[in-house]
Amino acid sequence: MPCANHQMSVEPSPTARTEEGASNKSKAPGMAFLPLGIALILLVLMTILPSMATNAHGKADHPAALLIFWAMSAGFVRGVGFIPLHWLPRLLLSGYACTIILALALLRLYVIGRIDLPL
């Protein structure tokens, strides 16, 4: 039987919000609307026109698909405000990676003749 005089102490959890934690919250990354917009546009584009990532013979162009979906993934990850702790995923899924990989995807689509860029 439990002792009637025993009182349980409740310690705050490490993730409990404190005034200090609330002030650090303002330093947390927020949503990044440019990468999120890029990701949403690529999502709609690849849903409506999946043939965009094919070559002239109608076969899948894997490098183009890889670049498009990498840019879309990086856009979603950074766009919703998530920044990985490890340096490699942070680099590969950053907002900068999203725009650079999107440029490489557009270059690949131009090279295989799927789009015309005004160069």
Looking at this protein, which amino acid is placed at residue 17? R
Which pLDDT does position 35 carry in this prediction?
95
Beta bridge partners of 54: 60
* pLDDT per position as a tens digit, 22-74: 445 556 688 999 999 999 999 999 999 999 999 888 899 999 999 999 999 99
The domain spans of the chain are 31-111
d(CA 45, CA 51): 10
Place of tokens 């990850």: 77
pLDDT class of 9 with cuts at 50, 70, 90: low
pLDDT class of 14 with cuts at 50, 70, 90: low
**Under a CB-based contact definition with an 8 Å cutoff, are residues 97 and 56 in contact?**
no
Place of tokens 């990989």: 101
